[in-house]
Amino acid sequence: MPREISGLSVVVTGGARGIGKATVERFARQGAKVAIGDRDVELAELVASPFGDRVKAAPLDVTDPESWRAFLDAVSVLGPFDVLVNNAGIMPLGSVLKEPDGVAKAIVDVNLHGVINGTKAVAPGMVDRGRGHIVNVASAVGRLAVADGATYSASKFATVGFSEATRSELRPHGIDVTVVLPTVVQTELAAGVPAAKGVKPVTADDVAKVIEQAVRSPKAEMWVPRWSQGLVKVTSLLPRRVQDAMAKMTQADSVLAQADPAARAAYEERARRSAGPQV
């Protein structure tokens, strides 16, 4: 039977903006209790405010295990937690040869270590209760790497691998693990990034809806849009030269390189701040 959303207790990281915000709102509207973890706690509190005591925001740096402990203490009134949505992520773009070391480290710390830290912080309670669900938001480039996003692609490939391994490890304890792979999403993170030919950009709520579907009826891997999963799997069976020709024809191999720098300026500045003052 599909799982009811009402009554669930859910953690959403990166819940102040984009996919995270849409996920918080979708779950909260259906009666779930939601804990929002975000560095921008003031913005996260604005997301939480329409829902009263059922939604609470607290500061969270997903790269720091101690921050996870403090966050879970701050939102413990909403627990124990049934669902963890590891959504927080950053996507600075550019040539890997020109990428500052601090930016590369920040991408891996947020996009990969954030997922690992979240799992280690929340899953033990799920194991104790014999049930739970972890949803890791990766990206289509976690299966299909694209130039000018090499470190970002690597972090998302790693997230897919971590999801597959933990699914096997945690299944005997009653815990489901789902990895969600969106294509280009109309959020600040993807500002200025064109969609590949024939692929319509999806919205943050499109992704949130798939996350909801995953929680209702757990699946190992879900793509947004869902038809893109079949296309990628079929394409992967073709000879490499055919794959390369198709990618060039649809411009799927260059969408990140074609990103508009002016449209991305505000996001890039904010994302790179997370790498620290050395950048």
Instruction: Give the number of other Cβ atoms within 10 Å of residue 137's Cβ.
Output: 32
Tokens representing 82 are 């049934």
Helix, strand or coil, per DSSP, at residue 85: strand
CB atoms < 10 A from the CB of 53, how many? 9
Residue 152 catalytic? Answer: yes
DSSP 185: B
Return the closest-CA partner of residue 156 out of 223, 251, 210, 202.
Answer: 223
51, 68, 71, 152: which is the annotated catalytic residue? 152
140-154 burial, b if ≥16 CB within 10 A, otherwise e? bbbbbbbebbbbbbb
Give the SS3 label for residue 61: coil
Task: Give the residue numbers annotated as catalytic, written as ranges.
Answer: 152
